Amino acid sequence: MGLINIAILVAMVVVLVIVAVYCILRNKKINEYGIEADAVISRIDTDYDSEGSPSEIYFVDYVNAEGQTVTAKLGNPPANAYQGMPMRIKYLPEKPKFVRRMK
């Protein structure tokens, strides 16, 4: 393996670690400081990776503390999720599109 390939591999690992730490910290912040709300799965989109494999992306609608309807991507949908499914979520007031499903 050449030096360039090793450098690329190290860079990819560093990026993955940074993304993982960011997600962990964001989820911890939502769990600690998030506001609970009722939400409903409003849309399910299909995305395809570079190999053509599909994955579903779930969006929820909820009303925030200011009375505004917000549509946000749901990071942890339940296995049996369907459009119209109600659920409880937590969101960050300063970043209302950051939501987590309450279990």
Angstrom distance (rounded) from CA 71 to CA 44: 12
Determine which helix (DSSP H) or strand (DSSP E) holds 67, and give its type and residue range: none
Strands 86-92 and 35-48: antiparallel
pLDDT in tens, 30-45: 778 889 999 999 999 9
Angstrom distance (rounded) from CA 78 to CA 39: 13
- Assess contact for 87 and 41: CB atoms under 8 A: yes
* Whether pTM exceeds 0.85: no
- Assess contact for 66 and 10: CB atoms under 8 A: no
pLDDT in tens, 74-102: 978 888 899 999 999 999 998 898 898 98
Give the whole-number percent of the chain exceeding pLDDT 90: 41
